[in-house]
Structure 1
Amino acid sequence: MPSASIPLSELTEHPIVQAPMAGGPSCPELAGSVSEAGGMGFLAAGYKTPEAMYEEIKQLRGQTQRPFGVNLFMPQPDNADSGALERYRAQLAGEATWYEAQLGETDHTTDDAYEAKLAILFDDPVPVVSFTFGCPTRHVLERFTKRGTYTVVTVTSAGEAQTAEFLGADAVCVQGIEAGGHQGTHRDDPQADGTGSGLGLLTLVTQVKEAVRLPVVAAGGLMRGKQIAAVLAAGASAAQLGTAFLVCPESGAELVHKQAMTNPLFARTEFTRAFSGRPARALVNRFLREHGPYAPAAYPQVHHLTAGVRKAAAKAKDPQGMALWAGQGHKLARDLPAAQLMDVLVTELAVARDRVAKQGAPGGSGGGTGGPV
């Protein structure tokens, strides 16, 4: 049975985790390929029904006998400003007309069927479960421990990491501001858009390592093996990559989304509430520019409001109306099968470690300390 004293990397051959990317990319085919290649594949249960989550778990088990993970979204407070939501709905009317789509309803529950998903995972345990947008109760984490499930809580600060440790998580996924998609902050500050807050990954990993004794999985902008070596040298036990795997042929992301990663038309990323109501890093496109400044802090209500437009834009193969989630390293994306990408990353990691070891050895040219990376 896994315990808090072991790093997540000890469950896998290589210290590489495929990030759980909600909305389609993290499908059983991608997660299975990564796990089979010696990494940790992850399914994303966010936005899915409990039944759909269970079906994907069954599919993944049919593809690999190696460890894998499932990510859950924590329930969110229902404190959206109804007036602000209606004003945003009015602003998006032109988008709905253009894409011949319907704007969604915003009266959905904000718990993402959390309790029902927990019940499935307690009844039929998986090797690893991670959490985003908050930390489960001690009772929930203890129940997973009793079932032999390793638990990981996504954190964006040393304080959040301390909470996860206190409540009994096995590890923390430290998410730097470079990461694509949603920032996994435990509380969304309505006054913050994410552009001027948060810490870079290396600084954050260092702060968290000095604040807690839990193993750390580092996430945010990682695309190359030498970057993995850097976060391991900073104290992480594994690295989590999302954008790097999003472009793999096994990924369930839309083809137009994959192509946008290296398209010169999409040169940079920004944090925005435009698509979901929560700060998330995406490639800058027309929708983000036009609606980002006006989107209210209302998650997941804005997600449901814009879902029909985003799906219609994807069907029309128009990246200007889609949520093109991407990390800051998106230009480094490589269109490779997941197993081949794993091989390349592992080779790059070994080369980086060997280079530093040689530089630090007596007679080496680098004058380094010889410390392990």
Structure 2
Amino acid sequence: MPARAMPTHPVVTTDLTRRFGLALPVIQAPMAGGPTTAGLVAGASEAGVLGSLGAAYTRAQDIPAEIRAIRAQTDRPFAVNLFFHQGRIAGADEIAAARRALEPLAARVGAELPADVSDAAPPLDAQIRAVLDEAPAALSFTMGLPPAGLVEAARARGIALIGTATTPLEGRALIAAGVEMIVLQGADAGGHSGMFDADGPPPAFGWPALLEALAAEAAAAGVMLIAAGGIMTGRGVAGALAMGAAGAQLGTAFLSTAEAGTKPGHRRLLAEAAAAGEGRTVLTRAFTARQARKLLAAGEAMPVEPAELAAFPAQHGLTKPIRARADAAGVPEAQAWWAGAGAGLSRSLPVAGLVERLGQELAAALQGLARSDR
């Protein structure tokens, strides 16, 4: 598929900007569950970065309408993201035990736990077919490897495949699978870790360590590497480029934009973190049984992992009504407002204003690097 025409004044040119015709080597991270509205994705793409729709929890039959809503607002490239979770499936006994473990917290916030969580995440095969049929510029994914035949099917439609790695071994597996680019998700990233093994230890690698480990192999295979995790400013993007990345993926930075579907309670915490200049975050499996980084409220107790967890996505389905009631009940430890370790650098701007600011910061940082090389 030919690359899009470059914007009139790209800040810097990399393999990522050439591939999608971007003004900045930046991907607006997909954030499932509501933040990545059509307005945010289209606005990010229109402003010159690669917008991304978080569709992991979207039913296959609803994906076309979401993609078309973005296309109604922009003809620029964008990505659609899915969870390629390939872990074990929770059995009935496991779900029942997890349900019992959650009952005290549910009672505390006044929530009723669901009897059935079979629809906690839509069937992946149907989601993939829906995305392929709509053929966005890119299909990004996390939590695993592409299913058999997907690399060829995406290539035939001109769709870039963007995988996610949290360890060097995962990165090598993705290179071997034939993906076009890999997001190196560092441990500082907000929301779910893309780790393949849901029952493994918490993520430990930062994106610089992943980049160092994989740069030579990725270059030999012609695979682009994208830095992610804790990057909030153009200076951070410049740091990723200086280390050899083709670009950076930013998620938390976009949560406070006007177009994002970020809930009021979430916005409030991000604003408080920005005012304090620091956001306290923690990794927890309590809400979905997968490691995910959440933002803590002032004085909030650390979330306690229940005695029993049902494998993802069942735990996500069980805790959904608890999370829906947590703010109103005044129990912040029952709420999963995801954010990365850089949340204290959040800025409340329209998406176009944020991208413009990122571009200014990136240009200034690159000029500084150039001066230091003289």
TM-score (norm 1): 0.88
RMSD, aligned CA: 2.4
Counterparts of 2:310 and 2:241, CA distance in 1: 35
**Equivalent in the alignment of 2:209:** 203
Cα deviation 1:299-342 (Å, max 9, x = unaligned): 11110000011122356686443201010000110111111000
Alignment match of 2:233 (pick from 219, 224, 227): 224
Unaligned segments of structure 1, at least 5 residues: 362-373
**Equivalent in the alignment of 1:233:** 242
**Equivalent in the alignment of 2:282:** 270
Alignment match of 1:292 (pick from 301, 305, 311): 305
**Equivalent in the alignment of 1:60:** 70
Return closer, same or farther for 1:148/1:315 CA change in 2, 3 Å cut-off: farther
- SS of match in other structure, 2:302: helix
Return closer, same or farther for 1:120/1:81 CA change in 2, 3 Å cut-off: closer
The CA deviation at 1:296 is 2.4
The CA deviation at 1:165 is 1.7
**Equivalent in the alignment of 2:133:** 123
**Equivalent in the alignment of 2:218:** 212
The CA deviation at 1:114 is 1.2
Is the contact made by 1:216 and 1:237 (CA closer than 8 Å) also made in structure 2?
yes
1:240-319 map, 5 Å: 240-263=249-272, 267-284=279-296, 289-292=302-305, 294=307, 296=309, 298-314=311-327, 319=332
Return closer, same or farther for 1:243/1:93 CA change in 2, 3 Å cut-off: same
**Equivalent in the alignment of 1:98:** 108
The CA deviation at 1:294 is 3.4
Return closer, same or farther for 1:270/1:294 CA change in 2, 3 Å cut-off: farther
User: How high is the sequence identity, in percent, across the aligned residues?
Assistant: 35
Counterparts of 1:352 and 1:278, CA distance in 2: 36
Q: Which amino acid aligns with 2:230?
A: G
Is the contact made by 2:46 and 2:74 (CA closer than 8 Å) also made in structure 1?
yes
**Equivalent in the alignment of 1:365:** none
Counterparts of 1:238 and 1:130, CA distance in 2: 15
Q: Which amino acid aligns with 2:233?
A: R
Counterparts of 2:155 and 2:120, CA distance in 1: 26
Is the contact made by 1:256 and 1:318 (CA closer than 8 Å) also made in structure 2?
no
Is the contact made by 1:7 and 1:216 (CA closer than 8 Å) also made in structure 2?
no
The CA deviation at 1:28 is 0.8
Return closer, same or farther for 1:140/1:267 CA change in 2, 3 Å cut-off: closer
Is the contact made by 1:75 and 1:112 (CA closer than 8 Å) also made in structure 2?
no
**Equivalent in the alignment of 2:16:** 8
The CA deviation at 1:65 is 0.5
1:319-330 map, 5 Å: 319-330=332-343
Q: Which amino acid aligns with 1:247?
A: S
Q: Which moved more, 1:336-345 or 1:153-162?
A: 153-162
Counterparts of 1:39 and 1:275, CA distance in 2: 31
Unaligned segments of structure 2, at least 5 residues: 4-13
**Equivalent in the alignment of 1:351:** 364
- SS of match in other structure, 1:327: coil
- SS of match in other structure, 1:173: strand
Counterparts of 2:238 and 2:121, CA distance in 1: 37
Say yes or no: does 1:28 pair with 2:38: yes
Q: Which amino acid aligns with 1:271?
A: L
Counterparts of 2:71 and 2:159, CA distance in 1: 15
- SS of match in other structure, 2:304: helix
Counterparts of 2:60 and 2:143, CA distance in 1: 18
Alignment match of 1:80 (pick from 70, 75, 90): 90
The CA deviation at 1:229 is 0.3
Is the contact made by 1:74 and 1:111 (CA closer than 8 Å) also made in structure 2?
no
Say yes or no: does 1:89 pair with 2:99: yes
Is the contact made by 2:89 and 2:312 (CA closer than 8 Å) also made in structure 1?
no
Is the contact made by 2:142 and 2:194 (CA closer than 8 Å) also made in structure 1?
yes
Is the contact made by 2:98 and 2:310 (CA closer than 8 Å) also made in structure 1?
no
**Equivalent in the alignment of 1:333:** 346
Q: Which moved more, 1:89-98 or 1:235-244?
A: 89-98
- SS of match in other structure, 2:161: strand
Return closer, same or farther for 1:110/1:324 CA change in 2, 3 Å cut-off: closer
Is the contact made by 1:37 and 1:339 (CA closer than 8 Å) also made in structure 2?
yes
**Equivalent in the alignment of 2:10:** none
The CA deviation at 1:208 is 1.8
Counterparts of 2:167 and 2:120, CA distance in 1: 24
Counterparts of 1:288 and 1:216, CA distance in 2: 37
Q: Which amino acid aligns with 2:355?
A: M
Q: Which amino acid aligns with 1:219?
A: A
